[in-house]
């Protein structure tokens, strides 16, 4: 993987996953806010963790905020799955990869206290000098709102606050298997600079995972659904024969 400079003079942040970087035509555009959308068990956590790890390994201070999982359990899950990535703990110990557990349901009691979420996120980013941020996941926020419009405003406020920190972010969100293409109140096409969707199928008892870049604002990308595998050496995105270059 090509190292990316700390001062972000390059246009894109490489994910370190060759097939995904190919779909993104080089990587995630700097200072963009990306959404990783998929149902439960579709690989969002492992995919986003590896991207944060690869960024840290390339010299970019990265923060992984886990909202719904225990920090210890998350790290153990990643290390047990990616057994060939032997220096995960080294990146954490060096401070290049900061993993933090945020139980935001205890920080806020109502949607009106959305500023508390933003303050926690910004504090963590600033304290660690992070240039890449993962939030896994935004799904919990949906339960705080009784109507779609208020949820839309809340998410927009968080995204714009992160954007003002000049940090590249990847935010995961869990959709439902029954309605995978629509999350009430989540206007992904307008809220986020880029959208990557993941899915899984159970084919004769064997799980298959799929990934597709559906939006990348002001950038070229390949709109092509690709199968991916979760292997001991990391996420492996399979090449597809049909390549459709899109420009958003």
Residue 178 CA: distances (Å) to CA of 39, 46, 149, 175, 182: 9, 23, 22, 9, 10
| Predicted pLDDT at 105 | 53
pTM, to two decimals: 0.89
| pLDDT per residue as tens, the chain (248 positions) | 444 333 333 479 999 999 999 999 999 999 999 999 999 999 999 999 999 999 999 999 999 999 888 999 999 999 999 999 989 999 999 999 999 987 655 445 565 677 877 888 899 999 999 999 999 988 877 777 788 888 888 889 999 999 999 999 999 999 876 665 677 778 888 899 999 999 998 877 788 999 999 999 988 899 989 999 999 999 999 876 455 556 66
**DSSP per position, 128-163:** HT-SEEEEE-SHHHHTT-SSHHHHHHHHHHHHHHHH
- State the first-to-last Cα distance of the chain, in angstroms, to the nearest integer: 26
CATH superfamily membership of 29-207: P-loop containing nucleotide triphosphate hydrolases (3.40.50.300)
Instruction: Look up residue 63 and give its two tokens.
Output: 């923060």
Whether the CA torsion 67, 80, 237, 221 is positive or negative: it is positive
| Predicted pLDDT at 110 | 60
| Predicted pLDDT at 244 | 54
| Predicted pLDDT at 164 | 93
Distance CA 129, CA 107 (A): 23
| Predicted pLDDT at 179 | 63
| Predicted pLDDT at 140 | 78
CA 17 and chain centroid, separation: 13
| Predicted pLDDT at 114 | 78
Distance CA 23, CA 112 (A): 38
How long is the chain? 248
Is the CB of residue 228 less than 8 Å from the CB of residue 236? yes
| Predicted pLDDT at 180 | 58
In a 10 Å sphere around its CB, with 0-12 CB exposed, 13-18 middle and 19+ buried, how is residue 230 labelled? Answer: middle
Residue 89 CA: distances (Å) to CA of 30, 75, 77, 121, 158: 26, 8, 12, 23, 30
How many CA atoms lie less than 13 Å away from 209 in the CB half-sphere? 20
Element of type H or E holding 121: helix 114-128
| Predicted pLDDT at 183 | 75
Closest by alpha carbon to 171, among 55, 76, 9, 47?
A: 47
């Amino acid at each position: 993987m090509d190292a990316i400079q700390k001062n972000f003079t390059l246009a894109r942040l490489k994910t370190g996953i060759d097939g995904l970087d190919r779909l993104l035509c080089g990587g995630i555009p700097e200072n963009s806010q990306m959404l990783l959308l998929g149902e439960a068990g579709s690989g969002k956590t492992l995919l986003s963790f590896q991207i944060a790890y690869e960024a840290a390994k390339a010299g970019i201070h990265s923060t992984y905020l886990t909202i719904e999982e225990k920090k210890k359990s998350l790290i153990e899950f990643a290390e047990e799955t990616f057994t060939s990535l032997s220096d995960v703990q080294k990146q954490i110990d060096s401070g290049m990869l900061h993993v933090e557990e945020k139980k935001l349901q205890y920080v806020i009691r109502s949607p009106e206290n959305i500023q508390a979420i933003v303050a926690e996120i910004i504090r963590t980013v600033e304290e660690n000098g992070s240039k890449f941020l993962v939030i896994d996941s935004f799904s919990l926020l949906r339960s705080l709102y009784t109507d779609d419009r208020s949820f839309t405003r809340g998410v927009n406020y968080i995204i714009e606050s992160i954007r003002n920190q000049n940090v590249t972010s990847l935010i995961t969100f869990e959709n439902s298997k029954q309605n995978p293409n629509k999350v009430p109140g989540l206007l992904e096409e307008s809220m986020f600079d880029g959208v990557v969707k993941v899915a899984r199928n159970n084919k004769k008892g064997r799980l298959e995972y799929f990934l597709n870049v559906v939006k990348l604002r002001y950038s070229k990308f390949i709109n092509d659904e690709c199968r991916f595998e979760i292997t001991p050496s990391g996420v492996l995105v399979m090449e597809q024969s049909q390549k459709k270059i899109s420009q958003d």
